């Protein structure tokens, strides 16, 4: 399965069966994703009714393509899927992304029967199939967008893989993640999991996908959760796994049955099982993004003692509250660190923890010296660094960005809150996010929470750095 | 005091004492705020060392200004503040924004003495003073930015006032709010509250500031919280009050002492007192923004029965979980509504609550009919409406925006999650936010939470519509 999945996710060529020039068809948007996403391999649109699609020569059926095809993306209506899968098998494609819906997830029992039929065909040719009922996948690490959402090509490449039981969640988490400059390796929705589910993908990502450092899962319901939990064992000590479980309520449970064909299951049992499997559970898309970003770039948080350094006192106090809410504590600085802070800040500032760096606003070096001292202090395990950037103190943003270009990475996690009006210092903030072991979160509350998640991840022992 | 505050917040003319042409001085940024914020009144820079500042004729001292001055913004060093306040009194200004720091908040006891001195001067002339140690204020309703942060002039005008004990919090909440298109009337930090604090401002906003519909407070610590709670009584039945209390932890408490000169106090006592005063308490800047936006534009949520309508099943399930987490419940549709939904959606969709509107993606009218039916259903009290917009379904975003331009406002609150890649459909989303009683939140989790806050606000009886 692994080598086949490699061909599926790193294809040298892609056929789009059901490609279209019509904006109203998903086959149009899949072509748009590949072309505008600057996919470097060959693209073969397949449609008996067109000569050219998106300016590329079109083939009437898959067998008419003379060259080898690694990946087939299928967007034809459900009744045509069985024969199309046969064609894929005959052609020797390495894998299929089956976007078409109308299988096990529909109320009509014909859907179930159709899904069983295509399952048999896939087994016949030993064909891995993502879907049916998926929006596709985007592999930022390889530069291929095999989905009907071209906008995903704008995401930053990075170390976070998102494997989701819902395409809608991919869009939610993907778009929110884009706002937070989340670095993505692979983003995909499983759909009805014909023969590729969480276990196969976790194994693939752990063993074959070097770009991925953090695996995030959105789970609604599974018939055999044990397989997922066992697969998580393979990741232990190698890559972090974060899971978000929905369908916690009774109503959500029955919705899950319709959506993905599996019951959501008892949430309390899930909670314990995820923890036992070393999986970090989160409770929202925003928390998943914050935690995944921090686990991707920060050093591990090996203890609970947090320093809060803030350019403004109020947000520093809020972060201090959030640190305690997350079950961590405010570090007590060593004498050496306290002396450095006292030297750099006048007595008008709060110089204990949380530190109000306000008076060092115009002194980027002073702020950086305090940051370094706090990270190097033997009495701290992690640092929250906060600055609201506006007209009067923008020099600090520029100087920080400049310094971080060449500085060695911090050996303790640093969660930074660099809040600024949109579209003004985006470039500096983009530069700093992920640099030197710093991960940026949008608010002091989320900085405290992400420190809590880093600490939980360390306790779960998911990765020994 | 009221009429004086009106002059302070709606000045016909502003003098900037300590105005500067040098980027390193706060007096530069205050001038920038007024000039680039397109303040329509007269601006009088005051500085004995310059002939012109920001291209405007400069006066050597306040008395040299021949015209009347309503507001004086002071940015001279602390030792010069007493004589400057005397000048303001002699000149007959209506109010002062005292940005200068170095008073009661510093460790040195000279600060306390200096604050007492300027208190006496303010009493002598019956002069309302915002500060000292404030970043200033921005009155979007009147078009004046009397702060050192020119970027605040970009905020949308609206019905939300933010009165904060921390300038840093104003920047945090203001910048995060800008991303959420928050509509602001007044944004200000109290600083050390020489003679203008929460009680005076609540009274002013309730009785004199028509633009303000929701008053939000960021509180660290107060010597006399009873005054605030009594003032909140005046707002009851007229305007909503939301409060965010920080300094909940012991360490935060001592930080508050240094920051604002007041102890934070026991949080549990605060919690009960705020509730008794009809004030909605929130636990983060993001929650404050979501709640304030919804209270500003939505109809009241008078019951707990929520309909969840989603263009994608996964985010709908997440919202369903969030509704139950917030202590509300998923509505059971009336037969009439269910029939409308069943007619518009094929059986492949989840048609109970949460509703998966996926198959109506290309049918904006269908989605709108479902939304209208859910709002008008006697079995619902509020609606969460979710759509992730991307290439394939952008027609829905455009059609929705178009429809809402002329449709009558919804009589029940609608929290919408319109998530899309940044800078693509910003215009459509901007148009829809606040229109027709719809408030947009960034995620399904926050949609559930904001419904919970609307319901709590209704139970607190803060505004009887």
Query: pLDDT tens across A10-27, in order?
Result: 999 999 999 999 999 999
Q: Which of B449, B370, B319, B446 is nearest to A255 (CA)?
A: B319
Tell me the average pLDDT across A234-253.
85
Phi, psi of A269 (to 5 degrees): -65, -45
Q: Which residue has the tokens 């003679």?
A: B195
Q: Which two structure tokens, joined as six digits, stand for A13?
A: 């060529």
Q: Which two structure tokens, joined as six digits, stand for B442?
A: 């960034």
Q: A433-458 burial, b if ≥16 CB within 10 A, otherwise e?
A: bbbbbbbbbbbbbbbbbbbbbbbbbb
Percent of chain A with pLDDT over 70: 94
Indicate where chain B has its CATH 3.40.50.720 domain(s).
2-219
From CA A463, how far away is CA A213, in angstroms rounded?
A: 10
Residue A143 has pLDDT above 60, yes or no: yes
Strand pairing category for A13-17 and A42-46: parallel
From CA B201, how far away is CA B195, in angstroms rounded?
A: 11
Q: Are B103 and B78 in contact (CB under 8 A)?
A: yes
Q: Which two structure tokens, joined as six digits, stand for B251?
A: 């360490």
Task: Output the CA angle A335-A338-A339, nearest 5 degrees.
Answer: 85
Give chain A's end-to-end CA distance (angstroms, integer): 29
- In the prediction, which pLDDT does A421 show? 87
Q: From the list A24, A176, A443, which residue is nearest B419 (CB)? A: A176
Chain A / chain B CB contacts < 8 angstroms: 264
Q: A353 and B251: CB-CB below 8 Å?
A: yes
Q: Can you state the angle between helices B313-325 and A250-260, rounded to 10 degrees?
A: 170
At A222, the pLDDT band (50, 70, 90 cuts) reads confident
B residues 112-151 closer than 8 Å to A (CB)? 148-151
Strand partners, A314: none
Tell me the average pLDDT across A300-313.
95
Compute the nearest-CA separation of B3 from chain A (Å). 30
Contacts of A285 in chain B (CB under 8 A): 318, 443-445
Tell me the average pLDDT across A443-459.
97
Q: Which residue of A has its CA nearest to B417?
A: A172
Q: B248 and A324: CB-CB below 8 Å?
A: yes
A residues 13-32 closer than 8 Å to B (CB)? 24, 26, 29, 32
Residue A392 has pLDDT above 90, yes or no: no
Q: Which two structure tokens, joined as six digits, stand for A317?
A: 């106090």
CA–chain centroid gap for A291, Å, is 10
From CA A312, how far away is CA B111, in angstroms rounded?
A: 20
- In the prediction, which pLDDT does A265 show? 67
Residue A9 burial (CB count, 10 A): 28
A residues 265-304 closer than 8 Å to B (CB)? 283-286
Q: Are B293 and A351 in contact (CB under 8 A)?
A: no
* Residue, of A347 and B209, whose pLDDT is higher: B209
Q: A91-118 burial, b if ≥16 CB within 10 A, otherwise e?
A: bebbbbbbbbbbbbbbeeeebeebbeeb
* Residue, of B346 and A367, whose pLDDT is higher: A367
- In the prediction, which pLDDT does B465 show? 46
Compute the nearest-CA separation of A9 from chain B (Å). 22
* Residue, of B31 and A111, whose pLDDT is higher: B31
Compute the nearest-CA separation of A320 from chain B (Å). 6
Give chain B's end-to-end CA distance (angstroms, integer): 29
Q: Which of A38-47, A448-457, B223-232 has the lowest mean pLDDT?
A: B223-232
A321 contact B CB<8A: yes
Strand partners, A217: A163, A243
Residues 6+ apart with CB under 8 A from B83: none
Q: Which two structure tokens, joined as six digits, stand for B218?
A: 């960021």
Q: Are A38 and A153 in contact (CB under 8 A)?
A: yes
- In the prediction, which pLDDT does A216 show? 98
Residues 6+ apart with CB under 8 A from B152: B33, B37, B138, B145, B174, B187
Q: B101 and A165: CB-CB below 8 Å?
A: no
Phi, psi of A72 (to 5 degrees): -110, 125
- In the prediction, which pLDDT does B259 show? 60
Strand partners, B310: B356, B386
Q: A248 and B353: CB-CB below 8 Å?
A: no
From CA A254, how far away is CA A134, in angstroms rounded?
A: 20
Q: Which helix (H) or strand (E) holds B95?
A: strand B95-98
Contacts of A355 in chain B (CB under 8 A): none
Tell me the average pLDDT across A72-77.
98
Q: Are B15 and B65 in contact (CB under 8 A)?
A: yes
Contacts of B106 in chain A (CB under 8 A): 347-348
Q: From the list A106, A249, A259, which residue is nearest B324 (CB)? A: A249
Residues of chain B with pLDDT under 50: 465
Residues 6+ apart with CB under 8 A from B90: B63, B125
Superfamily of domain covering B2-219: NAD(P)-binding Rossmann-like Domain (3.40.50.720)
Q: From the list A150, A317, A330, which residue is nearest B246 (CB)? A: A317
Q: Which two structure tokens, joined as six digits, stand for A87?
A: 């064609």
A241 contact B CB<8A: no
Residues 6+ apart with CB under 8 A from A53: A16, A19, A20, A21, A31, A45, A47
Q: B390 and A171: CB-CB below 8 Å?
A: yes
Q: Which of A103, A439, A410, A178 is nearest to A295 (CA)?
A: A439
Phi, psi of A166 (to 5 degrees): -140, 125
At A86, the pLDDT band (50, 70, 90 cuts) reads very high
| Greatest pairwise CA separation for chain A in angstroms | 79
From CA B416, how far away is CA B433, in angstroms rounded?
A: 8
From CA A140, how far away is CA A162, in angstroms rounded?
A: 12
For the question of an ipTM over 0.85, the answer is: yes
At A195, the pLDDT band (50, 70, 90 cuts) reads very high
Compute the nearest-CA separation of B464 from chain A (Å). 32
From CA A16, how far away is CA A136, in angstroms rounded?
A: 12
Tell me the average pLDDT across A146-173.
97
From CA B274, how far away is CA B295, in angstroms rounded?
A: 18
Indicate where chain A has its CATH 3.40.50.261 domain(s).
299-461
| Greatest pairwise CA separation for chain B in angstroms | 79
B108 contact A CB<8A: yes
Q: Which two structure tokens, joined as six digits, stand for A44?
A: 């073969």
Contacts of A149 in chain B (CB under 8 A): 390-392
Q: Which of B208, B12, B186, B202 is nearest to B94 (CA)?
A: B12
Q: Are B321 and B274 in contact (CB under 8 A)?
A: no
Q: A216-231 burial, b if ≥16 CB within 10 A, otherwise e?
A: bbbbbbbeebeebbeb
Domain A299-461, CATH number (from 3.20.130.10, 3.90.550.10, 3.30.9.30, 3.40.50.261): 3.40.50.261
Q: B148 and A392: CB-CB below 8 Å?
A: yes
Cis peptide before B354 (omega within 30 of 0): yes
From CA B319, how far away is CA A252, in angstroms rounded?
A: 9
Contacts of B176 in chain A (CB under 8 A): 419, 442-443
Task: Write down the H helix ranges in A17-163.
Answer: 26-36, 81-91, 109-125
Residue A408 has pLDDT above 50, yes or no: yes
Residue A465 has pLDDT above 50, yes or no: no
From CA B400, how far away is CA B430, in angstroms rounded?
A: 12
At A349, the pLDDT band (50, 70, 90 cuts) reads low
Tell me the average pLDDT across A422-447.
90
B245 contact A CB<8A: no
Q: From the list A101, A316, A419, which residue is nearest B171 (CB)? A: A419
Residue A223 has pLDDT above 50, yes or no: yes
Residue A285 has pLDDT above 60, yes or no: yes
Q: Which of A181, A3, A22, A195 is nearest to A97 (CA)?
A: A195
Residues 6+ apart with CB under 8 A from A98: A74, A81, A118, A129, A130, A131, A132, A133, A134, A191, A194
Q: Which two structure tokens, joined as six digits, stand for A444?
A: 């002091």
Residues 6+ apart with CB under 8 A from B1: B128, B200, B203, B204
């Amino acid at each position: 399965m692994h080598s086949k999945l490699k061909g599926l996710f790193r294809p040298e060529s892609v056929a789009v069966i059901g490609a279209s020039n019509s904006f109203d068809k998903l086959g149009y948007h899949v072509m748009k994703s590949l072309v505008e996403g600057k996919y470097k391999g060959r693209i073969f649109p397949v449609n008996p009714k067109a000569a050219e699609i998106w300016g590329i020569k079109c083939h009437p059926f898959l067998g008419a393509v003379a060259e080898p095809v690694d990946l087939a993306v299928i967007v034809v209506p459900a009744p045509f899927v069985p024969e199309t899968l046969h064609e894929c098998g005959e052609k020797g494609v390495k894998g299929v992304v089956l976007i078409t819906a109308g299988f096990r997830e529909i109320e009509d029992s014909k859907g179930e029967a159709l899904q069983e039929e295509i399952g048999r065909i896939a087994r016949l040719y030993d064909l891995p199939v993502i879907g049916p009922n998926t929006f596709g996948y985007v592999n930022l690490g390889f530069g291929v967008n095999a989905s009907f959402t071209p906008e995903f090509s704008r995401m930053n490449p990075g170390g976070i893989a998102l494997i989701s039981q819902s395409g809608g969640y991919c869009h939610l988490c993907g778009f929110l993640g884009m706002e937070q400059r989340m670095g993505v390796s692979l983003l995909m929705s499983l759909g009805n999991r014909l023969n590729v589910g969480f276990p196969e993908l976790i194994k693939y990502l752990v063993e074959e996908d070097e770009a991925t450092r953090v695996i995030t899962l959105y789970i609604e319901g599974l018939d055999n959760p044990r397989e997922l939990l066992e697969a998580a064992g393979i990741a232990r000590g190698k890559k972090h796994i974060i899971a978000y479980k929905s369908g916690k309520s009774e109503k959500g449970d029955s919705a899950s049955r319709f959506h993905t064909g599996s019951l959501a299951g008892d949430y309390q049992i899930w909670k314990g099982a995820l923890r036992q499997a070393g999986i970090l559970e989160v409770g929202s898309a925003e928390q998943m993004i914050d935690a995944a970003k921090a686990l991707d770039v920060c050093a591990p948080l090996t203890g609970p003692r947090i320093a809060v350094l803030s350019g403004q006192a109020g947000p520093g106090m809020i972060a201090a509250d959030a640190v305690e809410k997350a079950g961590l504590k405010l570090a007590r600085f060593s004498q050496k660190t306290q002396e450095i802070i006292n030297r750099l800040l006048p007595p008008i500032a709060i110089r204990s923890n949380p530190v109000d760096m306000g008076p060092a606003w115009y002194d980027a070096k002073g702020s950086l010296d305090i940051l370094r001292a706090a990270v190097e202090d033997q009495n701290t395990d992690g640092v929250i660094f906060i600055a609201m950037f506006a007209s009067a103190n923008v020099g600090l943003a520029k100087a920080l960005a400049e310094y971080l270009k060449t500085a060695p990475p911090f050996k303790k996690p640093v969660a930074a809150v660099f809040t600024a009006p949109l579209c003004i210092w985006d470039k500096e903030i983009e530069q700093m996010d992920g640099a030197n072991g710093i991960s940026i979160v949008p608010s002091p509350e989320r900085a405290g929470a992400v420190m809590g998640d880093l600490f939980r991840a360390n306790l779960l022992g998911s990765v020994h750095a």
